[in-house]
Amino acid sequence: MRNEPLHAYSLHQRPYQEKRSIYYLFTKEHGVLHGIGKKGIPQFAPLMLFATGKKSLKTLQQVNIVEVVPSLMGQQQYAALYVNEITLKLLPVEDSMPIVYAQYAHTITQLQQQLSLVELKLVLRCYEQVLFSELGFAIDLEQDSEQQLIEKEQYYYFAADRGWVKPSATESQQQRSSSNQGPQSSTAATLASPSNFGHRNPSAFMRQSPVKGETILAMQAGISVPTIDSWTQIHRQLIDYLFDYQPLQSRILWQQFYRYQ
């Protein structure tokens, strides 16, 4: 890599020597980049730097903070750590992702504001949506796994590797019946139903609640407050699938944060 100026954010770092660290950067020009530099490069702040070297581990020089940003605290800090973790672990190394980079920079700027929990969810879901789309995992909200149009009254399961899958005929009938009895009965029936759907597709998804077609059609309008819980549920399942159902460290820290509040 030639000695060129790079726009970057630090996603993660670990000690390397007494005065240096290994940094995992997200750059506008080359995507995720690994390099060695002096200790003290901050996270969540836009950087300008130079990187040289032909090997996978570059030498970082002339690192400058483009803009001093407020420190992230509380839920915003854990949300930013989550964004960094999924970015670092899902993006390929040294592969330019300008659309994701632009959304990442926008997301970090938003997380520097005071946000309610719903607003925070909106910010994270929007970033995940761009990340999924650029990685080829955009969610089809118009057709099911059999290339049939989503039906308003039909229930579906979401399989990350297949899309929207209809449950068995028996289960669909139970869901329609319980839906007519009201939301509480519907929830109880769903939880009590001895569905074998997950057992028939163990590699596609873990046990989950079905989603009504009406909700999926509403999600076509984009990520919004009325559909945020549905987006959160589906994105969580896709993230779990992409990480092979391994726990995210940032998610564990976030759960611990709320546990001790």
Indicate the pTM of the whole model.
Answer: 0.83
Tell me what pLDDT residue 197 has. 38
Rg (the chain; Cα; Å):
21
Phi, psi of 10 (to 5 degrees): -90, 120
Beta-strand pair 31-38/4-15: unpaired
Please enumerate in sequence order all residues whose Cβ is within 8 A of that of 108, keeping only pairs 6 or more positions apart, or say none: 9, 44, 69, 80, 83
| Residue 116: half-sphere exposure toward Cβ, Cα within 13 Å | 3
| Full pLDDT tens readout for the chain, 261 residues | 677 899 999 999 999 988 999 999 999 999 999 999 999 999 999 999 999 988 889 999 999 999 988 889 889 999 999 999 999 999 999 999 999 999 999 999 999 999 999 999 999 999 999 999 999 999 999 999 999 999 999 999 999 999 999 987 435 544 554 454 444 333 323 222 323 334 334 444 446 789 999 999 999 999 999 999 999 999 999 999 999 989 898 888 877 766 665
Tell me what pLDDT residue 261 has. 54
Three-state DSSP state, 23: strand
Task: State CA 89 to chain mean position distance.
Answer: 11
Burial class, 23, CB count within 10 angstroms (exposed 0-12 / middle 13-18 / buried 19+) = buried
Please enumerate in sequence order all residues whose Cβ is within 8 A of that of 182, keeping only pairs 6 or more positions apart, or say none: none
CATH topology of domain 5-65: OB fold (Dihydrolipoamide Acetyltransferase, E2P) (2.40.50)
Residue (of 206, 196, 195) closest to 244 by Cα position: 206
Domain boundaries, the chain: 5-65, 74-135, 139-175+201-260
